Amino acid sequence: MKAAVYKEKGVLAVEEMPSPSPHEGELLVRVTYCGICGTDLHNYSCGIPAPGSVLGHEWCGVVAELGDGVRGFHVGDRVMYHPYGGPGAVAAGEASSRNLRLNPRAIYSAPARRGAYADYITTAASRVARIPDGVSDKAAACLEPLVAAIHAVRLGNLKVSDTVAFIGAGPIALFMIQRVKQAGARAVYVSEISPARAAKATELGADRVFNPLKQDIVEEIVGLTGGRGPDIVYECAAAKGTLDQACRLVAVDGRVTCLAVYQETITLDPLDWYMMQPEIKFTTNRASTPFDWEIAAEALSKRTIDVETVITNIIALDEMQDTFQALLNPATNTMLRVLVKP
């Protein structure tokens, strides 16, 4: 089979490799689509994976072979990655009990890592779910980032009539904007440098979208909120000054929820805090819970969040190198969510 293999920092190459065989309890799946995740870009551009790894975790496909002992699936079933969706999964609604200190560099560097930027992937049958009839393959390949969006919206502790700001409107934020509107936000403001992302944010319901290279977003958004600042700021940009900007923008008793994955040390400038005396509640974004997966899968089935509207490009494995490079500079192209079709 063909796979896009991570060779070294900033280099992917399409190579032939043997198709994997399913072990006991596993499925062999022919990959239909695998979405390009921001964490893949991060790992690729920072040189984190072990050379020889195959990345890609936002996938769906068709069952090609059953390992010994697998029940509940048949060859030809459409399936999506859903670690709590298969037989033997955690009971729906049960909170995640993980409280481990993990070393992400060790996880992403695991030499045996075989993801879905490939014709085939093997997976434990307990980590996939059958794709419901009304859900397209393209939508099913968006389940994992939709889970991240659902989780982050809930972390922000949104209340009806809260005002919300997003710093950065990548694909996950574009899913979140839809949910935040449904949840009863009074207004949604967005700061985004990419014209394509800005246009999509407006289309999906953002009340105002600002270009932080041309406008002072703190002044603009604080002005629009009668001097208060938004109740919640979702920091989704990971630029050098955006966390500091989130803290200057948010209401004095507001919440900053940080989804951003930083690639370098950033600074916070708390000089104003002495005079402003804010009581900002700050949260980073941890792993998702089984409940987030349940809600995201339901949103796909009921189509309450339009994930397909954010998909702009379907590419082949041999287009991945150029596409990864382009996605690292989102303001210079019109791509939003990109799916790989091996």
Residues that bind Zn ion (CB under 5 A): 37, 58, 144
Q: How far apart are CA 208 and CA 215, in angstroms?
A: 12
| 59 vs 189, beta carbon nearer Zn ion | 59
Q: How far apart are CA 317 and CA 158, in angstroms?
A: 39
Q: Is 200 helix (H, G, I), strand (E, B) or coil?
A: helix
Q: How far apart are CA 237 and CA 104, in angstroms?
A: 20
Q: How far apart are CA 221 and CA 316, in angstroms?
A: 41
| 57 vs 281, beta carbon nearer Zn ion | 57
- DSSP secondary structure, 98-109, as one string: ------HHHHHT
The pairing of strands 128-130 and 337-340 is unpaired
Q: How far is the CB of 98 from Zn ion (least distance, A)?
A: 17
Q: How far is the CB of 170 from Zn ion (least distance, A)?
A: 11
Q: How far is the CB of 207 from Zn ion (least distance, A)?
A: 28
- DSSP secondary structure, 202-267, as one string: HHTT-SEEE-TTTS-HHHHHHHHTTTS--SEEEE----TTHHHHHHHHS-TT-EEEE----SS---
Amino acid at 165: A
- Show Cβ contacts of residue 74 under 8 Å, excluding neighbours closer than 6 positions: 63, 66
Q: How far is the CB of 31 from Zn ion (least distance, A)?
A: 15
Q: How far is the CB of 42 from Zn ion (least distance, A)?
A: 10
Q: How far apart are CA 312 and CA 294, in angstroms?
A: 26
| 138 vs 248, beta carbon nearer Zn ion | 138
Q: How far is the CB of 45 from Zn ion (least distance, A)?
A: 15
**For Zn ion, which residue has the nearest CB?**
37
What is each CA distance from 322 to 39, 229, 316, 328, 331, in whole angstroms?
A: 17, 40, 11, 10, 15
| 39 vs 321, beta carbon nearer Zn ion | 39
| 58 vs 292, beta carbon nearer Zn ion | 58
| 58 vs 294, beta carbon nearer Zn ion | 58
Q: How far is the CB of 40 from Zn ion (least distance, A)?
A: 7
Q: How far is the CB of 300 from Zn ion (least distance, A)?
A: 15
| 33 vs 210, beta carbon nearer Zn ion | 33
| 38 vs 156, beta carbon nearer Zn ion | 38
